[in-house]
Amino acid sequence: MSHNTFGHLFRVTTWGESHGPAIGCVVDGCPPLIPLTEADIQPWLDRRRPGQSRYTTQRREPDAVRILSGVHTDQNGRQVTTGTPIALMIENVDQRSKDYSDISTSYRPGHADYTYEVKYGIRDPRGGGRSSARETAMRVAAGAIARKVVPGLRVRGALVQVGPHRIDPQRWDWDEVDRNPFFCPDATTAELWADFLDGVRKAGSSTGAVVEVVADGVPAGLGAPVYGKLDQDIAAGLMSINAVKGVEIGAGFAAAALSGEDNADEMRMGNDGTVRFLSNNAGGILGGLSTGQPVVARFAVKPTSSILTPRRTVTREGTDAEISTKGRHDPCVGIRAVPVGEAMLAIVIADHYLRHRAQIGR
Amino acid sequence: MSHNTFGHLFRVTTWGESHGPAIGCVVDGCPPLIPLTEADIQPWLDRRRPGQSRYTTQRREPDAVRILSGVHTDQNGRQVTTGTPIALMIENVDQRSKDYSDISTSYRPGHADYTYEVKYGIRDPRGGGRSSARETAMRVAAGAIARKVVPGLRVRGALVQVGPHRIDPQRWDWDEVDRNPFFCPDATTAELWADFLDGVRKAGSSTGAVVEVVADGVPAGLGAPVYGKLDQDIAAGLMSINAVKGVEIGAGFAAAALSGEDNADEMRMGNDGTVRFLSNNAGGILGGLSTGQPVVARFAVKPTSSILTPRRTVTREGTDAEISTKGRHDPCVGIRAVPVGEAMLAIVIADHYLRHRAQIGR
Amino acid sequence: MSHNTFGHLFRVTTWGESHGPAIGCVVDGCPPLIPLTEADIQPWLDRRRPGQSRYTTQRREPDAVRILSGVHTDQNGRQVTTGTPIALMIENVDQRSKDYSDISTSYRPGHADYTYEVKYGIRDPRGGGRSSARETAMRVAAGAIARKVVPGLRVRGALVQVGPHRIDPQRWDWDEVDRNPFFCPDATTAELWADFLDGVRKAGSSTGAVVEVVADGVPAGLGAPVYGKLDQDIAAGLMSINAVKGVEIGAGFAAAALSGEDNADEMRMGNDGTVRFLSNNAGGILGGLSTGQPVVARFAVKPTSSILTPRRTVTREGTDAEISTKGRHDPCVGIRAVPVGEAMLAIVIADHYLRHRAQIGR
Amino acid sequence: MSHNTFGHLFRVTTWGESHGPAIGCVVDGCPPLIPLTEADIQPWLDRRRPGQSRYTTQRREPDAVRILSGVHTDQNGRQVTTGTPIALMIENVDQRSKDYSDISTSYRPGHADYTYEVKYGIRDPRGGGRSSARETAMRVAAGAIARKVVPGLRVRGALVQVGPHRIDPQRWDWDEVDRNPFFCPDATTAELWADFLDGVRKAGSSTGAVVEVVADGVPAGLGAPVYGKLDQDIAAGLMSINAVKGVEIGAGFAAAALSGEDNADEMRMGNDGTVRFLSNNAGGILGGLSTGQPVVARFAVKPTSSILTPRRTVTREGTDAEISTKGRHDPCVGIRAVPVGEAMLAIVIADHYLRHRAQIGR
């Protein structure tokens, strides 16, 4: 049991606060002999990096990752994993302080600073310590390793809703995802979001969002029927991301309104002699086990509570007060949650791939 | 790591198949000196028991629980926990076989029998082995113990949506929940559901549903900021229930459409000198830690795939086929998921209560 | 984390007290399709069963094991594991009470009843609850399953010291082990022990012992270099047996007196092209990893504290007293520890076999 | 489950190889508000540091530890733990290569390089990767934190045997331990060891040793009766140290030769109204639970296999060969194992202290 470790056999332990000297993680249980250099990890971090558009926080961090252990250069000069723990570290650069005059004496509504102080007896005004989104950089780094553990695995994500505005699934184009600052798979909706988010940003406000993550190439049979369900761990992994308030698999909450006839994915033999599903309401998981179809999950990200509009709150001394957050804002934290959601999905699948191999032997 | 254990310090390990001689569980980590007899557990099992109305499966099981270990009668004649593992067992009575002619050769679309056979190399036509809902009886039994671990804790649940029909939150009445066969908190909607479900049942069809579970009396500060988040474990616990496809906390997916102004729960000092939240979009959890407000979670249950209408499928031999499920049906498995969801929420909170006590010391 | 579970991937959770209705265990993580019936388990339990000679406790228990879950009869009528949790249960038969007049008011020196009451606030005079040796029956049962998980594995044990009398390793004969009531591999020493233990028994006294367990057929490479060391888990497994006060691997404590020249096992190529070690001071483990040689461990069992001679103690009320234990005695609990030690070694090796398979993939 | 984590609630995850840029660890689960600076850790590392006498390896490392996360400066300017993961790091300085010509092609008898290559498919000639004793520096660092978790705890250690030469327990003087380069509690024996080890060193040989570690101030009741035994985890923790081949608690292996009369520690009421034990053969642990007496454990350290004398071995290509290790030697690795054993004992006790608090609530 641990408060800061995720996974059972492919295990990720993260550490570090946004205002300390560095953040890092230890990836334990990775198989040996997998080619791995910083160049395999850095591009995923670059996708998540803040400050790349006016729609995300202006904190500027190069987020240059270093591998401190767990790799080895073989006779052919190729750097590979050794099977020992892989330590990753990113030095914090931009530790510029916000204007903390208000928030050091009052709690921000919707923020963890109140519950933090109740639990730990500590009031850390500088970015919330471990509750900072900065921790998610290490998830992305660990996820880059997880992607290499399962042969043939591809994990992708997209933003599918911003505030009240959803994409049109008919216009879904994976190639579009990297062409706009929102990871939006639908070019038309991306334009609409740009306008909407400009308004949010100028108002010093914020908005929620929904992210969809999809894993192709997941072998059938990963998971277990009761408390080792693949979807159980996906739910845990995605809900563990900051600001996430809901998780669904396949048809998800929409399945509640369906009949058995409409929900169950029918099957036919494919020409290649393998089983083919005619739909994917299951999101690639039946009875906690992967079906071989793409694994599809969605999660809801609430709007950040750091907004300009004054809100009613209380002070540490127990008096009523008002608070507004000045300085850097993040109008839609859901945008940067896309690479983080991908990483968590990859980590869960890598973990279950190893768990499956242990019990089943292949 | 385990495939059949849930929890870290309050740990529940379940075993048994619906067609074996018995099912059971071991509850480990329970504190000593808590009064506990079968009478503390049986009423919760009775609420979940099938065959109590025409809207649930007609399997008839008395579900009489026995405590086999972990209790002791003290000098005052009171039976209390000893701090050692509590073994619970329920003998299976109704093992009447369904008509399995079809389903032993073909896979049921939307059912785990396909993924099961891919993983384990075993084709168990008799009710799906561990994927049977029967396993959830032991969750309810363990949940009854969990309810006693946290002083002042009360966990309740209700069905809030059946097929497309949602309750009206304005008419929510907890007292109503036990007056209808649906755990519905809204008498008017309960009548509507009765008609709707009669139709579903007569058609040999099935429908999905949404359950809401609420925990009052959760102390503030339970949880941890990163991978020990209280909501992370609630998500895992609820998603581990059979047929669940989505989980949300507080405002959940609706938070995606909100602005920061509308989502953040404002705070004021109460007359009694404690902090009061003016709303509960957070569902009682901020930054992974409980706020002291009621913890509110919702989960979506898909319609069962055991329906009369013939569906396209494939046989074990790899040919196309049609299949329909005869015999006992369960038009809305979401109904009986209510006590199961309550139990999982209670187990997660008991576990975090012990985890909190370990690190914080109170 | 659990107080009553042993193992990581091959996990054994035991429950039950010696004076309750039954004892049992759940074996989780066992691979599917392994042939398993009660007949595979019962012979190992019979070896451990008390009351088989005058040198062990006269408690009489048939110890008939039942498999309650996790198996399935395949098309060929063969019962095999399904990959789901295997629940085992043994009903308690001989619950005859000892004369507890003394020991319900005073603590037995060298016994856990004092520490038990300090921890749990409970005074269970009837055999010590979970500290009873009865729990070890379930270890032997689980060990019988573990033996079947690793192809080619053979685990054997022998008693090598009783009181001050050690066997002569030159006379070691595995066939002799089952010909005397002591699991002694040396016929000459067995006769000496018979006399010695008759004296101990008649005096109402007790004696310590040393057990050696050996596993042949352990594949090279099981374990991990740091906290997943094979010998670390063997040490934990053997030390977790009641009354064990020491554990050693290979040369063990004797290695402290050796030089590097004398201790290191030299290597040569065998005629079959495999590496051959010229000695086995390492006990089959180097750097926490198995070498492919037999894994050899030894553990010391203290004499039981239930003896006739009056001993100084204190009462629960805090006054000085004397105590002696009447009723059934066990002059040398080390004898029956032999099958228990074998079982724990088998469980550790099965667990590491699965762990190895997860990370290395074969 | 993890290969590189030790502990359940007080968890230590180590990473790093002796020839990489750094080594480090993450301590998770530490309670908040415990004063902690580098100055609390460095002295313990300095005691373990190599190169301090001619009797240990001449590798020279300043071993300067940095705290990278998990601490916070409070209003009074005092640095305290925050309850979040504490990351520690030590940069490697002395990476001078040995003469590896031999050992890159042949295996060293008694060394892990053979089993390593069998498992991971990797031949790392440069100091054995994770099997290097360098990893133990992080145990000492984590142990320094563990010492602060349990109020009133004091953990000390001493070398009690070098080769065949044991100390005289009658001359035990804790103050002497820090006055000689051997952590020897007996001044007379220390002189004898100096001569003996000079001979070993000049011969390019090595010798085994036995270490004793003692914890005072351990509250009664820590541990659990079955698989959460305090001594079980001590055995695991000490056996996980490099080169350890045996572990014993209290009288240990000597208990095998004792009668029940001689072994059981009698009890009397003390003048202060608390229970007093008249001896401590139990080593402070009965039935897996601490008694309140000092916890006493001993472990055997084998001689290192890196010696000058040529030994028979095989090459990676599968031919017979001879090998001798040139360069830096460590005549008695048992000396530096003293602070490491102390640290592991402290870590186990801190872990059980938190586990006890979780279940018992105080």
pLDDT at A56: 77
Span A274-280, average pLDDT: 95
- Express each pLDDT in C75-96 by its tens digit: 899 999 999 999 999 999 876 5
- Express each pLDDT in B165-210 by its tens digit: 999 999 999 999 999 999 999 999 999 999 999 999 999 999 999 9
Contact A264 B116 (CB under 8 A): no
**Closest Cα of chain A to B279: distance in Å?**
10
**Closest Cα of chain A to B92: distance in Å?**
19
- Express each pLDDT in A123-140 by its tens digit: 865 555 777 788 999 999
Token pair in block for residue A358: 């242990």
Is the pLDDT at B67 greater than 90, yes or no? yes
Which secondary structure element, helix H or strand E, spans residue B191, and what is its range?
helix B187-202
- Express each pLDDT in B3-16 by its tens digit: 899 999 999 999 99
Contact C287 D111 (CB under 8 A): yes
| Start-end of H helices in chain D | 38-48, 113-120, 136-149, 187-202, 230-239, 260-263, 333-360
Span A11-33, average pLDDT: 95
Q: Which of A13, A30, A82, A359 is the mutation pick for testing C, counting most C CBs within 10 A? A: A359
DSSP A199-265: HHHHTT--B-EEEEEEEESPPTT-B-SSTT-HHHHHHHHHHTSTTEEEEEETTGGGGGG-BHHHHS-
Report d(CA D137, CA C71) in Å as an integer.
47
Report the residue of chain A nearest B221, measured CA to CA: A119
Q: How many Cβ pairs closer than 8 A exist between chain A and D? A: 137
Contact D20 A68 (CB under 8 A): yes
- B144 annotated among ligand-binding-site residues: no
Query: A107 near A304, Cβ under 8 Å?
Result: no
Tell me which residue in B83, B225, B358 faces D357 most closely, judged by beta carbons: B358
**Closest Cα of chain B to D31: distance in Å?**
5
Half-sphere exposure of C76 (CA within 13 A, CB side): 5
Which secondary structure element, helix H or strand E, spans residue B46, and what is its range?
helix B38-48
Contact B358 D360 (CB under 8 A): no
- pTM > 0.95: yes
DSSP letter, residue D28: E
> Is C1 in CB contact (< 8 Å) with chain B?
yes
Report the residue of chain A nearest D67, measured CA to CA: A21
- What is the band of B126 on the pLDDT scale with cuts at 50, 70, 90? low
The answer to which of A17-26, A55-64, D221-230, D285-294 has the lowest mean pLDDT is A55-64
Report d(CA B315, CA B102) in Å as an integer.
9
pLDDT at C96: 56
The answer to which of B113-127, B311-325, C86-100, D19-33 has the lowest mean pLDDT is C86-100
Report d(CA B272, CA C162) in Å as an integer.
70
DSSP letter, residue B357: H
> Is A246 in CB contact (< 8 Å) with chain B?
yes
Token pair in block for residue D144: 């320094």
pLDDT at B125: 57
- Express each pLDDT in B267-282 by its tens digit: 999 999 899 999 999 9
Query: A61 near A48, Cβ under 8 Å?
Result: no
| Start-end of H helices in C93-135 | 113-120
pLDDT at B150: 97
Report d(CA B7, CA B234) in Å as an integer.
11
Q: Which of B359, B360, B362 is the mutation pick for testing D, counting most D CBs within 10 A? A: B359
Tell me which residue in C15, C32, C69 faces B69 most closely, judged by beta carbons: C15
Contact C29 A361 (CB under 8 A): no
- What is the band of B362 on the pLDDT scale with cuts at 50, 70, 90? confident
pLDDT at A53: 80
pLDDT at C331: 93
DSSP D172-188: --GGGGGGSTT--S-HH
pLDDT at D103: 65
> Is B287 in CB contact (< 8 Å) with chain D?
no
- Express each pLDDT in C149-169 by its tens digit: 999 999 999 999 999 999 999
- A206 annotated among ligand-binding-site residues: no
Is the pLDDT at A146 greater than 90, yes or no? yes
Half-sphere exposure of A359 (CA within 13 A, CB side): 33
Stated length of chain D: 362
The answer to which of B110-114, C3-7, C338-342, D82-86 has the lowest mean pLDDT is B110-114
Which residues of chain D fall short of a pLDDT of 50? none
Query: B270 near B202, Cβ under 8 Å?
Result: no
| Share in percent of chain B as helix, strand, coil (round to 5) | 30, 25, 45
pLDDT at C170: 96
Q: Which residues pair with A290 in a beta bridge?
A: A285
DSSP C324-359: ---S---S-HHHHHHHHHHHHHHHHHHHHHHHHHHH
Subunits that touch chain C (at least 3 Cβ pairs < 8 angstroms)? A, B, D
Give how far the C-alpha of residue B15 lies from the chain's centroid of Cα atoms, to the nearest Å. Answer: 16
Nearest to B215 by CA among B156, B131, B281, B143: B156
Is the pLDDT at A257 greater than 90, yes or no? yes
Token pair in block for residue B243: 């047929």
CB burial string A86-116: b at 16+ within 10 A, e below: bbbbbbbeeeeebeeebbeebbbbbbbbbbb
Between A134 and B249, whose confidence is greater?
B249
> Is D29 in CB contact (< 8 Å) with chain B?
yes
Is the pLDDT at A96 greater than 60, yes or no? no
Contacts of B43 by beta carbon, 8 Å cutoff, 6+ apart: none
Report d(CA A112, CA B231) in Å as an integer.
13
Annotated binding site: which residue ranges of D? 48, 54, 130-132, 242-243, 287, 302-306, 328
Is the pLDDT at C125 greater than 60, yes or no? no
Measured CA distances, A69 to A38, A75, D57, D89 (Å): 12, 18, 23, 12
- What is the band of B220 on the pLDDT scale with cuts at 50, 70, 90? very high
Contact D358 B360 (CB under 8 A): no
- Opening angle at CA B250, ends B252 and A110, nearest 5: 100
Annotated binding site for NADP(+): which residue ranges of D? 48, 54
Token pair in block for residue B239: 């998603």
The answer to which of C105-114, C200-209, D133-142 has the lowest mean pLDDT is C105-114
Report d(CA B274, CA B271) in Å as an integer.
7
Residues 332-361 of chain B with CB under 8 A from chain A are: 334, 355-356, 359-360
Half-sphere exposure of C72 (CA within 13 A, CB side): 26
Nearest to D297 by CA among C235, B260, C147: C235
Contacts of B148 by beta carbon, 8 Å cutoff, 6+ apart: B34, B35, B36, B40
DSSP letter, residue D37: -
Query: C318 near C194, Cβ under 8 Å?
Result: no
Tell me which residue in C3, C28, C121 faces B33 most closely, judged by beta carbons: C121
Q: How confident is the prediction for chain A on average, in pLDDT?
A: 92
Report d(CA B260, CA A163) in Å as an integer.
10
| Share in percent of chain A as helix, strand, coil (round to 5) | 30, 25, 45
Residue type, D124: D
> Is A68 in CB contact (< 8 Å) with chain D?
yes
* Chain C partners within 8 Å of D239 (Cβ): 229, 231-232, 234-236, 247, 249
Give how far the C-alpha of residue B143 lies from the chain's centroid of Cα atoms, to the nearest Å. Answer: 9
pLDDT at B3: 87
Domains of chain A from N-terminus onward: 5-360 (3.60.150.10)
Is the pLDDT at C330 greater than 90, yes or no? no
> Is C122 in CB contact (< 8 Å) with chain A?
no
Measured CA distances, D221 to A147, C121, D362 (Å): 46, 10, 11
Token pair in block for residue A119: 């639990």
Report the residue of chain A nearest C32, measured CA to CA: A360
Tell me which residue in B28, B72, B122 faces C4 most closely, judged by beta carbons: B28
Q: What ipTM is given for this predicted complex? A: 0.96
Report d(CA C302, CA C359) in Å as an integer.
38
Per-residue HEC secondary structure of B16-41 comes to CCCCCCEEEEEEECCCCCCECCHHHH
Contacts of C98 by beta carbon, 8 Å cutoff, 6+ apart: C126, C127, C325, C326, C327, C328
Span C62-82, average pLDDT: 93
Residue type, B95: Q
Residue type, D207: T
> Is B321 in CB contact (< 8 Å) with chain A?
no
pLDDT at D204: 93
Is the pLDDT at B291 greater than 90, yes or no? yes
Is the pLDDT at B33 greater than 70, yes or no? yes
